[in-house]
Structure 1
Amino acid sequence: MEAYEFLNVEAALIGVVTSRVRVPASVAVDSPRPPEFVQVTRVGGTAGMVADRPMVTFFCWAESWGAAHDLAALTKRRMHSLTRLGELPVYRVREVGGLSRAPDPVDGSPRYQFTLELRLRGKQAP
């Protein structure tokens, strides 16, 4: 059996955030950062021959603690409703780190975070 190749999950999830949550998102945080912003970072996970289980943390900034919480909660709901990423099915979305307050380490601005593990199938490498 040949190895499968796996999706760039960060790029795919950034696309979901920008289209379904409708806020700017990226792996890198721009300076200045937009008032509402979601950072998407793969922080680990495991992969086998056919399946990938990426662990992804979402950092959600907004202008107040309430707004940051609500943005994170909305983002999390959108992620839990995923059934596909592009042409690939999403078999499972599991929360491994719930919503938690995570003030920005540089300026202390309101930020919430959560971490999910996805279960994705790869596609056969050409």
Structure 2
Amino acid sequence: MGERGQYAAVEAAVVNYLFDRRGGVEVATEVPNPMPERFIKVDRTGGRRTNKVTERVQLTVLVWAPTKTEASDLAQEARGDLDELDSVDGVSVYLLEEVGGPTSDPDPDRSSPRYLFTVALYLRTALTRAP
């Protein structure tokens, strides 16, 4: 029998983490209809397993708010929150790398201010025996 890593449900864990940190702001992996004025969407946009116990997970975080200034501020707050993340779904985050900092990206479908940024989380998991 071999060993395999147990990888985290990263999107869901980061959604819950940001929701707890940004009290009152809805956070999800899908845009709800109707969308609230202030909203954060977390998307897994890539990554790779680097060996049996480590994985690099790339996440893009999209942030909407009523004004460009508010969207920028909320993106900066979420960015700061992720800097303090030490585990997801019980798996250690041993490095957070910023892939792309907060960037204005107005939502053409809603004609509303939106910012986005992208991070890579490096996760270390434990090995378990494969059946």
Q: Compute the TM-score of the two structures, normalised by the length of structure 2.
A: 0.91
**Could you tell me which residue of structure 1 aligns to residue 37 of structure 2?**
35
**Could you tell me which residue of structure 1 aligns to residue 3 of structure 2?**
2
Q: For residues 1-126 of structure 1, what are the structure 2 equivalents within 5 Å?
A: 1-22=2-23, 23-47=25-49, 48-125=51-128
CA contact (8 A) 2:21 2:81 kept: yes
How many aligned positions are there? Answer: 126
Q: Percent identity?
A: 34
Distance, in Å, in 1 between the alignment partners of 2:21 and 2:109 is 28
RMSD, aligned CA: 1.3
Segments of structure 1 that go 5 or more residues without pairing to the other structure are none
Following TM superposition, by how much is the alpha carbon of 1:56 offset from its aligned partner in structure 2, in angstroms? 0.1
Following TM superposition, by how much is the alpha carbon of 1:122 offset from its aligned partner in structure 2, in angstroms? 2.3
Q: Which moved more, 1:104-113 or 1:32-41?
A: 104-113
What SS does the corresponding residue of 2:47 show, helix, strand or coil?
Answer: strand
Segments of structure 2 that go 5 or more residues without pairing to the other structure are none
Distance, in Å, in 2 between the alignment partners of 1:125 and 1:61 is 40
Distance, in Å, in 2 between the alignment partners of 1:5 and 1:105 is 39
CA contact (8 A) 2:102 2:115 kept: yes
What SS does the corresponding residue of 2:3 show, helix, strand or coil?
Answer: coil
